[in-house]
Amino acid sequence: MMSAVSTERPREQHTDDHDPSPGDTPAASPESVPARPRRLPALLLVAAVAFALDLGTKALVVANMKPHESISIIDDVVRLTLIRNPGAAFNMATGMTWLLTLIAAGVVIGVLRIGRSLRSVGWAVGLGLVLGGALGNLTDRLFRSPGPLQGHVVDFISVTKWWPVFNMADSSIVCGAILLVALTVFGFEPDGTRNRGEQEQGA
């Protein structure tokens, strides 16, 4: 008696097919990684606070002090001394007020253009401080006497006798610039990433 012959063909095994095991996880594509949020609102908030602080302190000093009047805060280390500065820091470029005004306006425009694509909180804080300080001194250049583009900046903070008198806007610009330099040195990019290339090469 002859046995029945099966006509079914064996199933082909595909070696390139791979059933993922429970421990396997698919690699994330660049499109699946969520983009970091833009930090322009944070930049503008920091700038607004710095700008308001500068305007407020200048208004108080101008309303309550006479030119070149000096008030001791901490002995002779910290004093309030009202002066009108036509130049830059350290009384430089006193005859080029109009040029300093244009430079301040250029800084404001440049920071705003960078801020539109900014995704780093640290960079937003640093640039916000620079923007707020630049706006504070630019406001003096535009609206204080002797006239537009020639206005003298109100300075009133005196720290020791050898350091020039400055204001809150100057402090914001310096602090913001120091923060931006530190972020650059440690590899923090404006897009929120960190450049570790130098660290890996040195390892």
The secondary element (H helix, E strand) that includes residue 85 is strand 78-85
In the block, which residue shows the tokens 């020639």? 150
* Burial grade of 144 (CB within 10 A; 0-12, 13-18, 19 or more): middle
- The answer to whether 140 is a known catalytic residue is no
- The answer to whether 170 is a known catalytic residue is yes
Q: Annotated catalytic residue: which of 19, 54, 76, 170?
A: 170
Cβ neighbours of 131 (radius 10 Å)? 27
Q: Annotated catalytic residue: which of 19, 75, 76, 155?
A: 155
CB 85 within 8 A of CB 6: no
Rounded CA gap, 139 and 96, in Å? Answer: 16
Residues marked active site are found at 155, 170
